[in-house]
Structure 1
């Protein structure tokens, strides 16, 4: 091709690039969250705000409530270019970059303060790992915690060892870690939990309080241990090919608005969690408080399962960083 031909080809390519930019970008976002859930409402608000910020050039088209499939399906569709992105839970995120799953070590993180500090330190590494897989993290979210519900009062690991715990399917390493810790887990899908509780196949489970309330599962297991099992961490990710099509001048304000939305989503979730707990208590739930001196026994039990997870569910390097940072946080708190 001569010089004139190359120039013509470049001009045509530039024309179509500019035309696409002027026409705007539609990014299809999938989520398992229902349309009227806090996540669903937050995504709708973000869609409106991004449309305003970009002067109509970036539009989100939302597919809530598993319309786009489960999280594995969504990740695959983003890689294929069928979806532009997805709002994922921790389980979905680990399918992209498994070191994120270190945040879900049972009884590893005690409270919001520890979680916030850990995320601040580890997010850059997580985001870099996710970007290497072709995804851009737009927003992180923390949406409360998972708690333990049972038919009998539970405050110590010994109280749990004779129970049959409903355990999510598709997590063989985590299930084995619980077994190594001395607990009896029964693989069971959430859709079958009520039947399993009513039949006696299981007599305990761990879920976020909002889900325990909305599904009425607490009616079959009316005791809750207030010790936090693990945090609910999620993120909105967008496929790199879609993110790179967004004009540079819009990206920073879009990210800023997403961070603001994350803060509001957290506050809304905590409020709804408290309301769910109040409602369940009014309808027969008893909450059992774990004393500070009882916490180490839970952590020691969980530690027995670490040999199953470290180097398999997540890397040894990230686990060492996780434990080092946690130790620093707790020493600073105790010393300050």
Structure 2
């Protein structure tokens, strides 16, 4: 009896020492999604992403969160997409360059010489995005929300009114860009291919002196400090959004998937609604610092749109089925 009592006592003592999972520990364990972006720390984009993350944590009671790698520390967008494909990252915020690495028809929302107002892009996206998103799922990615990166303006160190004025420019072309290099089939210039993280250095050394960018991006990445002139007319509206690996998305619980989807739509929609205001605030800030605005005449606008249509006709077959391109382009005529 004494031996049995001693064994029972030892077993009970060992049981007390064993690490015990508290009730519901699996439910409170936090799942972290790694998310890469070129947006600099402290920028308006990062503040929006941080707010999105707080809402995800709140609605999942801390069981799901995003971990951001900002400022391009994970590489330019093609590298980020490769890392998501290989499982080294879960998600990312990308522009059309990154979207084209996933599913090239996403570029129909950024056809050159087509969309000059946010309302046109929004209408095209409302009609065509479900079809585009299904194609992205087929490539192993899921769209969490569409963004308007901003209307692209021409920045330079001289007045540029028409495409022919670009002949003396050292024009930045983004590495892996599908559309912009075609411009130089029709316009004389000196294009220089650089990744986004290389642009600031290229401007500082004079390797490039002309670039297309949304004003808010030019300010956030400090590019605008190396330009003296900005065209007042948008050449195109740049689009993008947040994507996640379909594999990662399917590994979440149904409740987590719902929260991620709903909050993604909510916060990206808010960002799109605020894009125009943020753009104007950036332009005002640049003007206060001495930026000169080049005013386009109606003839200038006509010249840019004509070249844009030439580029569109040349690249359309590389982007998507001609019928899809035509459907998207129709919204730019409204």
| TM-score of the aligned structures, taking structure 2 as reference length | 0.81
- Is 1:170 aligned with 2:176? yes
- Is 1:186 aligned with 2:191? yes
- Is 1:284 aligned with 2:293? no
Could you tell me whether the CA contact under 8 Å between 2:33 and 2:90 is conserved in 1? yes
**Higher alpha-carbon Rg:** 2
- Is 1:80 aligned with 2:96? no
Could you tell me whether the CA contact under 8 Å between 1:218 and 1:280 is conserved in 2? yes
Within 2, Cα distance between the matches of 1:73 and 1:29?
13
Instruction: Name the residue aligned to 1:14.
Output: none
Could you tell me whether the CA contact under 8 Å between 2:230 and 2:293 is conserved in 1? yes
Structure 1 residue runs without a partner (length 5+): 1-17, 331-336
Change (3 A) 1:321 1:21: farther
SS at match of 1:56: coil
Correspondence 1:56-67 to 2 at 5 A: 56-67=62-73
Shift of 1:95: 0.3
Within 2, Cα distance between the matches of 1:70 and 1:214?
16
- Is 1:104 aligned with 2:110? yes
Shift of 1:59: 2.2
SS at match of 1:228: coil
- Is 1:113 aligned with 2:113? no
Change (3 A) 1:70 1:19: farther
Shift of 1:200: 5.7
Could you tell me whether the CA contact under 8 Å between 1:180 and 1:304 is conserved in 2? no
Match among 152, 156, 159 for residue 150 of structure 1: 156
Kindly provide the CA deviation profile for residues 114-164 of structure 1, in whole angstroms up to 9, marking residues without a partner as x: 111111112111111111111121111113221002233233333334544
Within 2, Cα distance between the matches of 1:326 and 1:65?
33
Within 2, Cα distance between the matches of 1:194 and 1:80?
29
Change (3 A) 1:206 1:108: same
SS at match of 1:186: strand
Could you tell me whether the CA contact under 8 Å between 1:107 and 1:228 is conserved in 2? no
Correspondence 1:182-331 to 2 at 5 A: 182-189=187-194, 190=196, 193=199, 202-214=208-220, 217-292=223-298, 294-327=300-333, 330=334
Change (3 A) 1:196 1:260: closer
Change (3 A) 1:284 1:237: same
Structure 2 residue runs without a partner (length 5+): 1-23
Could you tell me whether the CA contact under 8 Å between 1:179 and 1:305 is conserved in 2? no
| Range with greater deviation from structure 2 (255-264 or 136-145) | 255-264
Within 2, Cα distance between the matches of 1:80 and 1:198?
35
